[in-house]
Chain A
Amino acid sequence: MSVATMLQPASRQSRASSSSSSSFQPVARQNTMSSHDTRSLRQSKRMSVTALYLSMSAKDRDLEISDDLARAQKHLRDLKSRISSQSKKNFVLEKDVRYLDSRIALLIQNRMALEEQNEVASHLDDTADPQEGFFPNDERTQKYGNLLFLLQSEPRHIAHLCRLVSMAEIDSLLQTVMFTIYGNQYESREEHLLLTMFQSVLTYQFDNTPEYSSLLRQNTPVSRMMTTYTRRGPGQSYLKQVLADQINALIELRDVDLEINPLKVYESMIKQIEEETGSLPDYLARSVTAEDAAENAQVQAIIAPRLKMLTDIANGFITTIIDSVDEAPYGIRWICKQIRSLSRRKYPDAQDQTICTLIGGFFFLRFINPAIVTPRSYMLIDATPTDKPRRTLTLIAKMIQNLANKPSYAKEPYMASLQPFIQQNKERVNKFLLDLCEVQDFYESLEMDNYVALSKRDLELQITLNEMYVMHGLLEKHSASLAQDQYSHLSVLLQELGGAPPQVPRKENRTITVPLFSKWETALDDLTAALDITQEEVFFMEAKSTFVQILRSLPQNTSVARRPLRLDRIAEAAATLKNDAVMVRKGIRTMELLSQLQDMGVIDRSDEFSLLRDEVEQELVHLGSLKEKVLDETRKLEEVFATIRDHNAYLVGQLETYKSYLHNVRSQSEGKTRGGKTPKNQELGPYKFTHQQLEKEGVIRRSNVPENRRANIYFMFKSPLPGTFVISLHYKGRARGLLELDLKLDDLLEMQKDNLEDLDLEYVQFNVTKVLALLNKRFARKKGW
């Protein structure tokens, strides 16, 4: 198979190939350019080819440029790869913490058998990152490399697989797909391939959902994919940017009640009157119907200002979201665009309203609203909101949801009083949802990126043994459907690999680096032919990119760098540079290129090669603004990285706490059976902390101590036995503490499980999670606390 056919977009290939199963919906190639605008088409191709050359030469070690831009770009690349690998770690950690959350709850309630305790303990011991390792044999590494390259560069296989696997299998598949195979979240080729896979799965769902009403509604592999996708770096940072400030401001108002359900309002009103006056006046019944409650004048008076406030808050959310349409991650917008075009295709008569409802079903229901109602699990806030702000957030999310839906008030008639909010906002939200879809397709650049990927010699993937075996196992299990044609590339590779090995124990799991390459590789020369460009253009591109490289390497204030550029002088200057063989080579090469292009009649010495010169100058201007963009992006991503790292610290802390607790429980039960032998039970601490210190670290949530006395307050923490702590509060100059609190680790964990945030020390309230973290840091014993 030639490179040309191999690299066709999936549609052409699958149409031509008999290997595609009948259910597979080819990825339609959508060309964004109108046919009459050939100039822009050509230019875009030209830009892409430049990108190709720049990218290829960037791989060339001896052509390294080290100006400010290059340094900034390198820093950005490093940052991106750190974010990618960190968010994968967090994904895995979250899974572990979820598992342990449920187990620990049982343990705390003393409902876990010893064998199970051991099982949990072994799970905990293995949560460390897998170590690096190698395949025992090169041949296998190579075969897996071939397979992974095929899976990565032809997303249709994974898309097909996603439809075949069960909901139980989908999580491990998605982990491998989203965080490993397409794990470089900021690399356009991997991102685009991942999105292509999305499209294929979405298309299938549209084609196979009989009812319009249940489209995108059920929990399917697609919905799971969307959730996982929105959890990657770009989605997270967007949510933080548009939601964090407003949610944080809202949860500060711990006691503001914005309930508007008349029944609930009536009930709390009754309760309050009773508490204040000790009895109920005769005209107020203890229980009333919803209608009566809604009719009650006092209830109405309470609700009216709340409606106004809710409307103001929700308007604030909507405005921020609408204003930051440009900040929405490309991939999320692109998915919205696919939903729009698939809806139009399936329901040609659908009104914009209907389409907006479907887009909103993804953007608001699956992306924005979950973060509003459970902001803590999206790292937007530190603590779970208290009841009243939580209810407010739910109401806000419901209002936003109703904007995207055709709201019905059958179940909750009182929501109808927010109708004016819907009417005021409907239009701008629908416009926003359609604006979201206005992003460019990427097929043009994806094609280019794929060529580039082929030309790279050092494409590789870091993957764990178990990820690879899971993937292999799933492919094998569903091979009847995935690889019907025994001569298809996938079939051939699967046959060569043989049966999938079983999962290895977590302890033996290794991260290995697999070089990716195609088994059916072709020479790079063919690329030019496949690209359908002439030799002149190739020379022109090469000349342009080489001149740009030279200019970037020369000191800024060199005389030859002055505009207008004299290309022949630049070439000469480079060619005669002392002690720099690379530059000399480039200089000579540009001289050759200039004369060849002159001979071909592309450029003209008499007008100072103005055609080429202008493009080189433009490119340099473009690169200048590029640096600003790079720096700007870096600033944003630094924040993202910080958030992800914070979250990681939180997860690791949580695991540590569980670990210590479990060791502690086990050593106690062991102690019992061994007849009360109590080794190494020496007291730890005490450690002293000032009020100011704990306040700064957020351990103190609230303090009733007057400002001027705070300097005299300090705390002592000690651990007389593993798992037991004593916190005492002291006042300077007094020998004995004022207060003492005995704490068991169980209690703290249970409080945390029940979402109780406050540990009450009368004069101050401690934050339970922060106390756990502090104890964890200070009193970590080798085995248990």
Chain B
Amino acid sequence: MRPQREYHIVVLGAGVPMRRAQFVQNVWIESYDPTIEDSYRKQIEVDGRQCILEILDTAGTEQFTAMRELYMKQGQGFLLVFSITSMSSLNELSELREQIIRIKDDENVPIVIVGNKSDLEEDRAVPRARAFGLSQKWGNAPYYETSARRRANVNEVFVDLCRQIIRKDSEGSRTSSDPNRKREGPNRHDRKRDNRRPRRRGPCVIL
């Protein structure tokens, strides 16, 4: 048996955390439940491989945006969730993606766009074409519409994201140092290591 792999996934997006409870537990929870941050694990099978997902479900509430940066540093893959009943929730995603790319310093971070509440078709405010348009703009980031209530597509979302992470991992190990990134001057990270170490002068002194 191949060893299990563990990946860190961060769920970001508009204030719809309640709907996502379904992603893990097979119960529909009707409660008013604003989140600060929840973390849980989920085991899925991706192409015959068992993967453990460590999922961090974050607050959609803007008052907690100061915590976002930390989440983004920790995550390897990101679910950007909006509600198909709210156009503004879709518009918020661009800013999130920009921030992820900035923090990860990587244009190709594994991302999946998720349009949630597809069971509320009659209240749809975001046409599918709009969401696909966004997906194309983002270098064909996969787009799914899910319904927590109907349990539609929920697992697929995670499998897709996980597959992206695995692919990235194996690419990364083939090309050990990234030759595509242009840097001016000497590699800063090497220099930094030298500089931040104090240089000792003279004989050892015990204070």
- CB pair A412–B40 under 8 Å, yes or no, is yes
User: A704 vs B52: C-alpha distance in the bound complex, in angstroms?
Assistant: 43
Neighbour of B36 across the interface among A219, A290, A398, A742, CB < 8 A: A398
Residues of B within 8 A of A (CB): 4, 14-15, 18, 21, 24-25, 27, 29-34, 36-41, 52, 57, 60-64, 66-67, 86, 88-89, 91-92, 99, 102, 105, 123, 183-185, 188, 192, 195-202, 205, 207
- CB pair A374–B64 under 8 Å, yes or no, is yes
- CB pair A739–B38 under 8 Å, yes or no, is no
Neighbour of B198 across the interface among A110, A290, A365, A741, CB < 8 A: A741
6 contacts between A and B (CB under 8 A): A217-B34, A401-B36, A704-B207, A713-B207, A731-B205, A761-B198
- CB pair B14–A218 under 8 Å, yes or no, is yes
- CB pair A411–B25 under 8 Å, yes or no, is yes
User: A30 vs B195: C-alpha distance in the bound complex, in angstroms?
Assistant: 67
A728-750 interface code vs B (CB 8 A; 1 in, 0 out)? 01010010111111111011001
- CB pair B57–A411 under 8 Å, yes or no, is yes
Residues of A within 8 A of B (CB): 102, 105-106, 109-111, 166-167, 210, 212-214, 217-220, 223-224, 227, 261, 263, 287, 290, 357-358, 361, 365-366, 369-370, 373-374, 376-377, 394, 397-398, 401, 405-408, 410-412, 704-706, 709, 713, 729, 731, 734, 736-744, 746-747, 750, 759-763
Neighbour of B207 across the interface among A213, A760, A763, CB < 8 A: A763
Cβ contacts under 8 Å, A217 to chain B: 15, 32, 34, 60-61
- CB pair A405–B198 under 8 Å, yes or no, is no
Across the interface, name the chain B residue whose C-beta is closest to A390: B70
User: A285 vs B102: C-alpha distance in the bound complex, in angstroms?
Assistant: 38
Neighbour of A406 across the interface among B31, B86, B184, CB < 8 A: B31
- CB pair A738–B89 under 8 Å, yes or no, is no
Cβ contacts under 8 Å, A227 to chain B: 62-63
Cβ contacts under 8 Å, B201 to chain A: 736-740
- CB pair A377–B41 under 8 Å, yes or no, is no
- CB pair B192–A411 under 8 Å, yes or no, is no
- Sample of 6 more A-B contacts, CB < 8 Å, known A361-B34, A398-B36, A759-B196: A219-B92, A223-B61, A369-B64, A705-B207, A729-B198, A739-B199
User: A160 vs B64: C-alpha distance in the bound complex, in angstroms?
Assistant: 27
Neighbour of A743 across the interface among B32, B195, B202, CB < 8 A: B195
User: A366 vs B40: C-alpha distance in the bound complex, in angstroms?
Assistant: 24
- CB pair A405–B36 under 8 Å, yes or no, is no
User: A309 vs B66: C-alpha distance in the bound complex, in angstroms?
Assistant: 27
- CB pair B34–A411 under 8 Å, yes or no, is no
Cβ contacts under 8 Å, B24 to chain A: 410-411
User: A709 vs B205: C-alpha distance in the bound complex, in angstroms?
Assistant: 12
Sort A-B residue pairs by CB-CB distance and give the 8 closest, nearest first.
A374-B66, A370-B63, A410-B25, A741-B198, A217-B15, A739-B198, A411-B38, A377-B66
Cβ contacts under 8 Å, A369 to chain B: 36, 63-64
Cβ contacts under 8 Å, A713 to chain B: 207
User: A370 vs B27: C-alpha distance in the bound complex, in angstroms?
Assistant: 29
Most chain B C-beta atoms within 10 Å of own C-beta, residue among A217, A223, A741: A217
Across the interface, name the chain A residue whose C-beta is closest to B20: A411
Q: A102-B102, A741-B199 are in contact. Are A213 and B32 (CB under 8 A)?
A: yes
Most chain B C-beta atoms within 10 Å of own C-beta, residue among A394, A411, A734, A737: A411
- CB pair A219–B205 under 8 Å, yes or no, is no
- CB pair B33–A366 under 8 Å, yes or no, is no
User: A738 vs B99: C-alpha distance in the bound complex, in angstroms?
Assistant: 43
Neighbour of B184 across the interface among A110, A224, A412, CB < 8 A: A110
Tell me how far the C-beta of A639 lies from the nearest C-beta in chain B, rounded to whole angstroms.
Answer: 24
Neighbour of B32 across the interface among A109, A261, A405, A744, CB < 8 A: A405
User: A213 vs B24: C-alpha distance in the bound complex, in angstroms?
Assistant: 20
Cβ contacts under 8 Å, A739 to chain B: 198-201
